[in-house]
Amino acid sequence: MAVAGGSVSACEIAVCYLDRFGRQRERPATEVGEVPFEELAPLECPVPYPGRQSFVTNAWASATGQLLACGSLRQ
């Protein structure tokens, strides 16, 4: 268990994502190195921050040549 102000190890961080079949998965960060996140659907649809027009859109990722879901600070 991490103490306030203390360090956190990678095995304490969980990553949630939808697999290629649309099932929600949760795995430790140390186990998701081979997961192709850029090819998967977003876990949730981005929503605008209340009272603002957000940049909810698909953003072009030049590193992968694909569109990625991009949300607001509320996400």
pLDDT at position 35, please?
92
- pLDDT for position 51: 72
Instruction: Mention every residue, 6+ apart, whose C-beta is less than 8 A from residue 64.
Output: 38
In the structure encoding, which two tokens stand for residue 2, read together?
């991490």
DSSP bridge pairs for 68: 59
| 8 Å CB contact between 73 and 50 | no
Tens digit of each residue's pLDDT, the chain (75 residues): 555 667 887 778 899 999 999 999 999 999 999 999 888 888 877 666 677 666 567 778 888 888 877 665 554
42, two tokens: 């977003």
Rounded Cα distance between 75 and 68, Å, is 14
